[in-house]
Amino acid sequence: MNSKLLFILGLIALTNAASVANVNAAKTYQLIRGFGGINLPDWGVDLTDAQRVTAFTNCDGCLGFTVLRVYVSDDSNAWKKSVAVAKYAQQQGATVFATPWNPPASMCENFSSGGRSGKRLRYDKYGDYLNHLNKFLDYMKSQGVNIYAISIQNEPDYGQEWTWWTSQECVNFLANYADKIKTKVISPETFQYNKQYYNDILDNAKANSNTDIFATHFYGTQRSQMDFPRLENGLYPRELWMTEVYVPNSDHDADLWPEAVDVAVNIHNALVVGGMNAYVWWYIRRSYGPMKENGQISKRGYMMAQFSKYVRPGAVRVDATEFPANNVYVSAYKNADGTLVIVAINNSNDSYAQQFTVSGKTIKTVNRYRTSSFENLALTKNLALTGNGFWAQLNSQTVSTFVVS
């Protein structure tokens, strides 16, 4: 009996054996735009030069982020605050997009209706608001930053501290003004994947035509709420972006383990169930974020890095057995360079000897990167191959990324 077989039998004897995880590299789903977060100097959180490198390059000890969200201030004098980090991220190849929270105060009015009270954009100021967004785009372009896309409003369905919009108000703006915005247009970014907003946009031919990207936040959004077949079934071929979240909370330290594994599960659900093309965290640097206040990557950050460093822009998600064992999540992606990336999350208290089989690609080598309570992207090179597949140990409460070439 050869040593490879003895090794595999030993794994099975020592741990539970999961069902086979089959990966079909020939069956593809959505394009992956990338992963990232927001830099928000207007609210006192601005990345330093060193932290920009950590966030937006893919060096050892870096996050490999490829998406940056920036804030559209209602005060044009504050726009300069966003330039430096946006310019750096763009130079590294990141997609930069923008989100407004409020129009300038002169365009707003107070209102009270249907149990809501707050401020909203005056109906006679929609044209002025369009000009405000375009002036921001022009300014950023003059500073060397090309904004890939811009949203019309952050969380219009929440609006307790910023501007309320009803779904029909969003539809009216998109239908009658959005075609004049000087870049790609992102839908309103609802707080909790509020499907009414998106259905109303889809039901209006002009608003639908003028919306290039549909975006949502995932605060409190459960796995069962992430699916939206009307936007995923090909009748409306637009990208879907998850543009803000923190999970599971903002009052715990980001290094708390195994709580941090919830971040990896949330990303998995967003990509596999929600069919999202991009996954964007809230603050990049925060005590509960991917980068801690001292600039070090947190355990939550390493959960993002298990995806962001290896699933690169232009990758496509491919078919994989999602649940080979209880609380074991598997997803797979094919990069533009031909490498296959498999992410396996063991969010259970049991360890498993996991068999992976691959079709649609010939395997030459498999390297594993694993994060656990005591490891951060720990590398194991050249896993043993068995035919066109391999076995790997999935320890409890760990995340493993397999790069298959």
In this prediction, residue 117 carries a pLDDT of: 79
Give me the catalytic one of 155, 169, 232, 239: 155
Those residues whose C-beta lies under 8 Å from the C-beta of residue 73, and which sit 6 or more positions away, are 42, 79, 81
Res 183 pLDDT > 70: yes
Size (the chain), residues: 405
> Which structural domains are found in the chain, ordered by start?
3-27+318-404 (2.60.40.1180), 34-313 (3.20.20.80)
pLDDT tens-digit series, residues 11-63 = 444 567 789 999 999 999 999 999 999 999 999 999 999 999 999 999 999 99
| SS3 assignment, position 13 | helix
- Catalytic residue, from 189, 232, 239, 244: name it: 244
For residues 378-398, give the mean pLDDT: 97
Cα(379)–Cα(314) distance, integer angstroms:
24
pLDDT of residue 184: 98
Average pLDDT in the 142-171 region? 96
For residue 234, what pLDDT is reported?
Answer: 63
Q: What angle do CA 72, 74, 80 make, to 5 degrees?
A: 55
Number of Cα atoms under 13 Å in the Cβ half of residue 397: 11
- Residues 309-338: pLDDT tens digits? 999 999 999 999 999 999 999 999 999 999
Model confidence over 261-277: pLDDT tens digits? 999 999 999 999 999 99
Q: Under a CB-based contact definition with an 8 Å cutoff, are residues 27 and 319 in contact?
A: yes
Helix, strand or coil, per DSSP, at residue 81: helix
Residue with the bigger pLDDT between 159 and 387: it is 387
Least confident piece of the model among 83-97, 103-117, 179-193, 373-387: 103-117
Query: Would you call 155 a catalytic residue per the annotation?
Result: yes
Alpha-carbon distance of 382 to 362, in angstroms, equals 15
The pLDDT, as a whole number, for residue 5 is 47
For residue 13, what pLDDT is reported?
46
On whether the pTM is more than 0.85, the answer is yes
pLDDT at 75: 98
Torsion over CA: 87, 89, 90, 95 (sign): negative
Q: Is the pLDDT of residue 79 over 70?
A: yes
**Is 375 a residue of the active site?**
no
- Find all residues with CB under 8 Å of 13, minimum gap 6, and list them: none
